[in-house]
Amino acid sequence: MKRTILLIEDNEQNLCLATFLLEQNGFKVIPARSGPEGIELAGRIQPALIILDIQLPQMDGYAVARELRQNPTLKDVPIVAVTSYVMVGDRERALEAGCNGYIEKPINPDTFISQIEKYLKAQPAGEESES
């Protein structure tokens, strides 16, 4: 069974690149182009991992992460923040909001998948059965 990644990203180019890389590596990608859409989808599809852009219209990624963590069925799902912000404080803010980690934009195609895999492997055993 393919592992499903929920990709919350409003920028079409970033969405395309990340989707391409993930699909090439055997993931199934469900896109969401806004925070509210992502929150709604996350509850329904129970993704293996959520990739969350921080710079989103109407509701930023920090608010989205906090909302996702309110849902008990999503509490163990890794959330990886993606942002072009370079300030150290933003990393802390993302972690405080409930994200497990942080990837800097622009996405590096050579390391993106290994960065994502790292957060999937951090999950408790049995969560990502390949059968």
d(CA 7, CA 72): 20
Question: Does position 53 bind Mn ion by CB under 5 A?
Answer: yes
Instruction: Give the residue with the Cβ less far from Mn ion, 3 or 90.
Output: 90
Instruction: Give the residue with the Cβ less far from Mn ion, 3 or 56.
Output: 56
Instruction: Give the residue with the Cβ less far from Mn ion, 60 or 127.
Output: 60
Binding mask 10-49 for Mn ion (x = CB under 5 A): xx--------------------------------------
- Residues 19, 34, 55, 123: which binds Mn ion (CB under 5 A)? 55
- Going from the C-alpha of 124 to that of each of 51, 76, 112, the distances in angstroms are 19, 9, 22
The contacts of residue 94 (CB under 8 Å, 6+ apart) are: 54, 61, 62, 65, 81, 83, 102
Interface residues with Mn ion (CB under 5 A) are: 10-11, 53, 55
